[in-house]
Amino acid sequence: MEKTPWSRPTMDDLKQVLESFGNSETVNDLRDVDRLELSVPAEVKTLRGNTISAMTREISRQGLGLLHKGMLNPGEVTVKLASETREFEYRVKIMWCTPCDNGMFISGGEFLTKPDK
């Protein structure tokens, strides 16, 4: 399968980007809520109707982090996550997006709808 500039990042892409940040224990973490590392395929749909394939980086009760190709503008999006048996869809407010290695971007957002327990 040919890779396109908008294809979903691979697990190797995710590992490479996370390794480029170094050891997270040496960085002051000012977050209010604990995050869990979570690397699953995701699909981000913008208000304009564009769909961007992504991988999750982490998740908490309040939001999630994503890795993707292409810039996401701050604002509301729909994020779909799927397991083998269920599909989850959340409204998320993208708070920030920044470029990183290999033409990839990382972003973070807050849930506008509460995730299922």
Is the pLDDT at 51 greater than 70? The verdict is yes
Q: Is residue 27 part of a domain?
A: no
Q: Is residue 2 part of a domain?
A: no
Q: Is residue 117 part of a domain?
A: no
Is the pLDDT at 2 greater than 60? The verdict is no
- pLDDT value of position 16: 64
**What does the alpha-carbon distance between residue 54 and residue 66 come to, in Å, rounded to a whole number?**
7
**What does the alpha-carbon distance between residue 99 and residue 105 come to, in Å, rounded to a whole number?**
4
- Average of per-residue pLDDT across 17-42: 61
The total domain count for the chain is: 1
Q: Is residue 24 part of a domain?
A: no
Q: Is residue 4 part of a domain?
A: no
Q: Is residue 76 part of a domain?
A: yes
Is the pLDDT at 57 greater than 80? The verdict is yes
Encode pLDDT of 106-116 as tens digits: 999 999 976 55
Give the CATH number, domain containing residue 100.
2.40.10.220
Give 113 or 16, the one with higher predicted confidence: 113
Single pTM value for the model: 0.70
Q: Is residue 69 part of a domain?
A: yes
**CB-based contact 97:71 (threshold 8 Å):** yes
Domain that holds residue 49: 11-18+34-111
Q: Is residue 78 part of a domain?
A: yes
**CB-based contact 67:9 (threshold 8 Å):** yes
Is the pLDDT at 17 greater than 80? The verdict is no
